[in-house]
Amino acid sequence: MKFEKIINLKSVAAAAVLVLSSCSNAPNSPGYEFMPDMYRSPSLEYYSTHTLNGDTLLTAKKPVAGTIARGHMPGIPAGMDYEKSGLYLKNPIALSDAVMKDAEHLYTNFCVHCHGKDGKGDGAVGQKLPGAPPAYDGTLKSLSEGKIFYSITHGKGMMGAHDGQLNVEERWKLVHYVQKLQGPKAVADSAAAKATGPVDELKKEEKNK
């Protein structure tokens, strides 16, 4: 009799616990599920892990070495450093209104929080960095397009590499926008012109036409 009573109480308690837990609205709980395999399928979800032969592996994988994406645009050749990029890299994308529009959109999404709306280095995050980014129309006024491209790709100083977030085309578009924020180039600075290479000279000629 006593034994049965205990069982009875236990089952009541178990039922209560079950009911309580199934009705919890805890923010960590995703809620009720019915036939969970419709939601949690055996196929691999991105950004998660799976086990293979006892090893836990990430489902996000790097493509096989040497893979070239469709429509791939070559970026910075291997071994090319900052200075060399400044000398030899030139913008493959012609400047147009459409490009500028895209570039502005990219700039607001990817640069503004540090470099500021006008590229003065006064973005909200830029202010919190140990040193604010230099202004495009100040210290960086005569920076060549190759160097700008290199900085976006691999980072420079406090700035991190953005090649993971922006593809080559987007980066070159941004170079156009940064050049716009640099303002008109100082013609007298022949040393800078030399350092920036022949590309800028060509541009200047185009402008003069």
Contact, 155 vs 161, CB < 8 A?
Answer: yes
Cβ atoms within 10 Å of 68's Cβ, excluding its own: 8
- Collapsing DSSP to helix, strand or coil, 190 comes out as helix
Q: Is 7 in the site for another protein (CB under 8 A)?
A: yes
Min separation Cβ 71 and another protein, Å: 12
Q: Is 161 in the site for another protein (CB under 8 A)?
A: yes
Task: Tell which positions 94-113 bind another protein, by CB under 8 A.
Answer: 108-110, 112-113
Task: Tell which positions 171-200 bind another protein, by CB under 8 A.
Answer: none
Residue with tokens 């940064």: 178
Q: Which of 76, 89, 103, 114 binds another protein (CB under 8 A)?
A: 114
| Total interface residues for another protein by CB under 8 A | 52
Q: Is 4 in the site for another protein (CB under 8 A)?
A: yes
Cβ atoms within 10 Å of 159's Cβ, excluding its own: 15
Q: Which of 38, 78, 94, 187 binds another protein (CB under 8 A)?
A: 38
Of 89 and 132, which CB lies nearer to another protein in the complex structure?
Answer: 132
Min separation Cβ 4 and another protein, Å: 6
Write the DSSP assignment of 87-152 as a string of letters. Answer: HH----SPP-HHHHHHHHHHHHHHTHHHH-TTSSS--HHHHHSSSPPPPTTTTTTT--HHHHHHHH
